[in-house]
A and B are shown apart, each in its own frame.
Chain A
Amino acid sequence: MKQLLLVFLFLVILSCSNTEESYSPISAPLDIPEVFENNILPPVIPLDNPQTEEGIALGRRLFFDRILSGDGSQSCASCHQPQLAFSDDNPTSRGIEGELGTRNTMPIFNLAWNYSERFAWDGKELSLERQVLEPVSNPIEMNSDWDEVIDRLNAHPDYPTLFNQAFPNEPISADLVTKAIAQFERTLISANSKFDRYLLGEVSLTANEENGLNVFMDEARGDCFHCHGSPNNPLWTDNDFHNNGLDATFTDLGLGAITGDPTDNGKFRSPSLRNLAYTAPYMHDGRFDSLEEVIDFYSEGLQASPTIDPLMKKIDQGGVQLTDQDKADLIAFLLTLTDPSFLETQGPPN
Chain B
Amino acid sequence: MINLKYKRHFIYLLSFLLLACNSKDQDDLLQSVVLNFSFEHFWDDTPVSNADFNDFKFTTEAGDVISIERLRYLVSDVQIIDANNVGLEYDVYNLVDVTAGEGLGFEFQDDIPLGTYTVRLTFGLDNEDNAENYADLNSANFNVPEMLGGGYHYMQFDGKFINSESAEQGFNYHAIRAVDISGGSPVFPQDTFFTIDLGTIWIGPSTDISIRANLAEWFKNPNSWELNELNSVLMPNANAQILMYENGQSVFSLNE
Contact = CB atoms under 8 A, between A and B. Distances in A.
Interface of A: 38-41, 113, 115, 214, 217-220, 225-227, 229-233, 235, 238, 240, 263, 304, 306-313, 315-316
Interface of B: 53-54, 69-70, 133, 135-136, 138-141, 143, 145-147, 156, 158-160, 167-172, 232-236
A342 to B, nearest CB: 21
Contact of B136 (A41, A226, A231, A311): A41
B236 A220 contact: yes
Contact of B145 (A113, A225, A263, A312): A225
B143 A40 contact: no
A115 B139 contact: yes
A217 B135 contact: no
A270 B148 CA distance: 24
A306 B168 CA distance: 8
Contacts of A218: 145, 147
A272 to B, nearest CB: 12
Given A230-B145, A238-B140, A310-B171, 20 more contacts: A38-B133, A39-B135, A39-B138, A40-B138, A113-B139, A115-B139, A214-B147, A217-B146, A217-B147, A219-B232, A220-B233, A227-B141, A230-B141, A233-B139, A309-B158, A310-B70, A310-B170, A310-B172, A311-B158, A313-B170
A315 B165 CA distance: 14
Contacts of B167: 316
Contact of A312 (B54, B138, B170): B170
B235 A232 contact: no
Contact of A41 (B133, B139, B232): B139
A310 B160 contact: yes
* Secondary structure call for the A interface: loop
B138 A233 contact: yes
B141 A233 contact: yes
Contacts of A227: 141
B159 A232 contact: no
Nearest to A234: B138
A308 B234 CA distance: 20
11 contacts: A39-B138, A40-B138, A115-B139, A219-B234, A230-B145, A263-B54, A309-B69, A310-B69, A311-B170, A313-B232, A313-B233
A233 B134 CA distance: 11
Contacts of A263: 53-54
Contacts of A115: 139
Contact of A40 (B139, B146, B147, B169): B139
A310 B236 contact: no
A312 B140 CA distance: 19
Contact of B235 (A219, A230, A310): A219
A235 B139 CA distance: 8
B138 A232 contact: yes
Nearest to B150: A232
Contacts of B159: 310
B139 A310 contact: no
A40 B136 CA distance: 6
A227 B141 CA distance: 8
A329 to B, nearest CB: 15
Nearest to A36: B135
A313 B146 CA distance: 22
A315 B156 CA distance: 20
Nearest to B160: A310
B143 A230 contact: yes
A210 B102 CA distance: 36
Contacts of A312: 170
Contacts of B233: 219-220, 313
A108 to B, nearest CB: 20
A225 B170 contact: no
A344 to B, nearest CB: 28
Contacts of A230: 141, 143, 145
Given A39-B138, A219-B232, A225-B143, A310 B133 contact: no
